[in-house]
Amino acid sequence: MKIVVDHLTEYQYEQVVGFGEHSLYLRPRESQTIHVESFELSCQPAGKVRWVRDCFNNVVAVVSFGSEKSSLLSFHCRMAFDVAEENPFDFILESRASHFPFSYDAREKGALRPYLEPEELERWRVLEWARAALGDLSKPRETFSFLTDLNLAIHRQIRYERRDDEGTQTPNETLDRGCGSCRDMAELFVATSRQLGLAARFVSGYLYERPHPDGSPTFNVAAGSMHAWAEVYLPGAGWRGFDPTNGLVADHHFLPAAVANRPEWVSPIQGQYFHVGAAASRMRVALTIEEAEP
C-alpha cells in the first residue's frame, strides 16, 4: 500500500524569540517493507536543513535558523512511502531463545548493552507487578507468548490517557496511577523487559488504520497520529515490535520514524528557543495519514 502523510506542527510564542537547532525525527525508517518515495519539509521562519544519520541509524533533519527571530515556529512535512504487507509472526527463533528465560551470546550482549541496562530505582516495583500479572517469572515458557502476555497485561491494566505535555512517566508512576499515554506504556514495557534480561528499545512513528466504510471509529487507539511503542531483540527474529497501548504485535501498519534506548531521544521534534526570561507558548499539531489510490 502507498501511504501519504501530511504533518504540521506549530509553536506560537507570546513574544518574539530566537531558535537553536531543531532535530526532526519524522522521516520513516526505510526497511525491507518501507520505501520512502518523497519527503518535503518547509519551515517558518525559513531554516537551513541538513540530514544526519544518528547513532541509532535514524535519519534526522537538523534545522538551523541562524539569527532569525519570530513568534511563530512551524514545521510542515509532506511524505509518501510504499509499505509492503508484513506478517509479524513470520520468523524462526534460534533454539536457545525459543523459551524464556534465555541468555544472549557474547556478541549480542556487546551490541545490545544500551538496551539491556535497567533502571535500578524501578526494579522492585516493576518486578513485583510483573510477577502478579504474569506469574512465576522463572518458569520456562515460550518466549514470544511470554512477551505477548506482557503486552496484553499492560494493555488491560493501564488505562490510556492522552497527554500533550512533554516527558514520560516513570514505570512506577504509571503503575501507581493506573493510566498513561502511549509513551508511558511503552516505557513500562521496556522497563519490565530489561529487568527480565531482555534487550528492549523505544519506537516513535505513525500508526495507520484503514477507515471503516461505515465511518465508525477506528479500533486502535492513536491510529492516524504519532504513536509510541516498543521493540525487543530476539535471536533469530531480530527486533520485534509490541504495542501495549493497543495490545498488539506491530505489523506493517506501524511505521517507525525513530528508535533509541531512551524515550526522550525519540521525541518527534527536539530543540530550544532563546529569550530573556520565559516565553509561554502553545503547540498545535495537524496530522493526516491516508492510503493513496493504487
| Distance from C-alpha of 173 to C-alpha of 44, rounded to nearest angstrom | 37
Query: Going by DSSP bridges, is the β-strand pair 2-19/273-274 parallel, antiparallel, or unpaired?
Result: antiparallel
Same domain, 27 and 171: no
Res 219 pLDDT > 60: no
In a domain, 65, yes or no: yes
Asked whether residue 175 is domain-assigned, the answer is yes
- List, as one string, the DSSP characters of 69-105: EEEEEEEEEEEEEEE----TT-----GGGSEES----
C-alpha cell at 262: 531512551
The strand pairing partners of 236, in sequence order, are none
Does residue 174 share a domain with residue 62? no
β-sheet with 22-24: strand ranges across:
48-53, 59-64, 22-24, 269-270
pLDDT of residue 124: 72
Helix 182-195, helix 143-157: angle, nearest 10: 140
Give me Rg for the CA atoms of the chain: 20
* 242 and 141, same domain (yes or no): yes
Measured distance CA(20)–CA(239) in Å, rounded? 34
Cα 274 from Cα 57, distance rounded (Å): 29
Average pLDDT for 69-98: 96
Identify the band that residue 211 occupies on the pLDDT scale cut at 50, 70 and 90.
confident
Of 180, 205, 172, nearest in space to 5 by CA = 205
Counting the structural domains of the chain, the total is 2
Assess contact for 199 and 112: CB atoms under 8 A. Answer: yes
In this structure, the answer to whether residues 234 and 113 fall within a common structural domain is yes
CATH of the domain at 15: 2.60.40.2250
In this structure, what C-alpha cell is assigned to residue 156? Answer: 488491560
Residues 247 and 101 in one domain: yes
Q: What is the pLDDT of residue 279?
A: 84
| Confidence (pLDDT) at 221 | 64
| Whole-number Cα distances in Å, 99 to 104, 121, 138, 231, 235 | 12, 28, 11, 18, 11
- What are the φ and ψ backbone dihedral angles of 134, each rounded to 5 degrees? -120, -5
Domain containing 56: what range?
2-84+268-291
Q: What is the predicted pLDDT for the residue at 255?
A: 96
Residue 259 lies in a domain: no
Q: How confident is the model over 201-216, as a mean pLDDT?
A: 81
Confidence of residue 166 (pLDDT cuts 50, 70, 90): confident
Q: Under 8 Å CB-to-CB from 233, ≥6 apart: which residues?
A: 104, 108, 112, 115, 198, 199, 200, 201, 239, 240
CATH at residue 215? 3.10.620.30
Same domain, 125 and 73: no
Helix (H) or strand (E) holding 154: helix 143-157
Confidence of residue 220 (pLDDT cuts 50, 70, 90): low
Question: Does residue 215 register a pLDDT over 80?
Answer: no
At residue 87, the pLDDT reads: 94
* 235-239 mean pLDDT: 98
Q: Which amino acid, 159?
A: R
Task: Report the mean per-residue pLDDT for the chain.
Answer: 93
Q: Widest CA span of the chain, in angstroms?
A: 61
Q: Give the lowest-confidence range in 66-80, 95-109, 123-137, 206-220.
A: 206-220
Say if residue 54's pLDDT is above 60: yes
The answer to pTM > 0.85 is yes
Q: Return d(Cα 2, Cα 36) in angstroms, integer.
A: 10
Amino acid at 19: F
**Is 80 exceeded by the pLDDT of residue 165?**
no
Residues 18-38: tens digit of each pLDDT: 999 999 999 999 999 999 999
pLDDT digits (tens, 9 = 90+) for 259-292: 999 999 999 999 999 998 888 899 999 999 999 8
Domain match, 123 and 243 both:
yes
Q: Classify residue 170 by its DSSP letter.
A: -
